[in-house]
Amino acid sequence: MSADFDLYRLSEEHDAIREAVREVSASKIAPHAAESDETAQFPQAAYDALRATDFHAPHIPEAYGGAGADALATCIVIEEVARVCASSSLIPAVNKLGTMPLLLAGSEDVKSRYLPSVASGDAMFSYGLSEREAGSATASMKTRAVRDGDGWVLSGQKSWITNAGVSDYYTVMAVTDPDAGSRGISAFVVEAADDGFSVGALERKLGIKGSPTRELLFDRCWIPEDRLVGDLGQGLRIALRTLDHTRVTIGAQAVGIADGALTAATAYVQERQQFGKPVSDFQGVQFMLADMAMKVEAARQMVYRAAAASERDEPRLSFLGAAAKCFASDVAMEVTTDAVQLFGGYGYTRDYPVERMMRDAKITQLYEGTNQIQRVVMARQLLKGNA
């Protein structure tokens, strides 16, 4: 068989990582998941547990003090945490999202200044691309960076920023040349302590309530020149390359949410008695479980294949990442909805986790590009011959 068909392979190390993360998730994260959702509080206990085991930002290379996990291992971490708490899974996921521009295009100086503190768990990193009127149409952003001496003055805002207010650092895209279109956008590192920088009020969300979502606000926020990420005018290109890699992690989160719901539903239908026997004895229920499991496994395979493409930075990554994110998130929404159905009336209550999982699943179809945008990405790659 050609090496081209050796798309990915789970090693003993990957299996060991899964086992370790599953144990941490079950013992340290799951007990706090419902409370974090109920109170809309950042899951500090989860962060502490992930930091203690080096799972809070496993993707950071060893050269910067990180665990050096490959893309597949990072997906396994996110998947396993998401099985019990989607909000907590955004800790490793968003740390990767925020730092990926640095890893892809940052100077050695920028990387050595910021990545070690993320690797140690002393800081978190978020990502600022979307705006109120520039979500899917990222090139139409209004946030401006105007040169000022040996730095830049940022003015504007960013919307829907995950872990805003908790993170210490933010990769922010801003227009540096209004006449250059998509080539007039640059990327900067903003620090939470910068003058003129603030965050807005908490968004009141349907799901992932334990992960704070806020606006970033820039009121003549001065940024020194040495915080530019990559070359001037390359910000949008860096942002889109980043999403090619991190959409895979959203796919992993979706797989984890779906698998957690499937696991909960499978256990419940074997305990629940109707007509004098377990609900799991009924063929209609068995067919639902079979379909759910089949789709979860198909989504997992797509995510792992895309993770391998991310690790190797393959030309097909744009297609594979969009496909994995799109398919897995659609599966997560379908499987969690079916899980609620299998729990019957109890599934609609907060006594069981599946209603939270259904609410959490919805965001995976929306952020890092809606699934309609993912289909646009896939179609364009297909027409270019990259699919």
For the annotated catalytic residues, the residue numbers are 368
Whether the Cβ atoms of residue 259 and residue 83 lie closer than 8 Å to each other: yes
Tell me how far CA of residue 338 lies from CA of 152, 301, 335, 355, in angstroms. Answer: 51, 21, 5, 10
CA 100-105-108 angle, 5° bins: 100
SS (H, E, C) 13-30: HHHHHHHHHHHHHHHHHH
Q: What would the two tokens of residue 278 be?
A: 């377990």
Return d(Cα 279, Cα 268) in angstroms, integer. 9
Determine whether 188 is exposed, middle or buried from the number of CB atoms within 10 Å of its CB (0-12, 13-18, 19+). Answer: buried
Tell me how far CA of residue 358 lies from CA of 173, 207, 248, 346, 374, in angstroms. Answer: 32, 8, 20, 14, 21
b/e string for 372-381 if b means 16 or more Cβ within 10 A? ebbeebbeeb
Which residue is it, tokens 């989160």?
A: 253
Number of H helices, E strands in the chain: 11, 10
Give the total residue count for the chain.
Answer: 387
Whether the Cβ atoms of residue 216 and residue 164 lie closer than 8 Å to each other: yes
Q: What are phi and psi of 193, to 5 degrees?
A: -85, 0
| One-letter identity of residue 78 | I
Coil, helix or strand at residue 191: strand
| One-letter identity of residue 213 | T
Nearest to 123 by CA among 102, 144, 151: 102
Helix or strand run (H / E) with residue 35:
helix 30-39
Whether the Cβ atoms of residue 128 and residue 216 lie closer than 8 Å to each other: yes
Helix or strand run (H / E) with residue 342:
helix 317-343
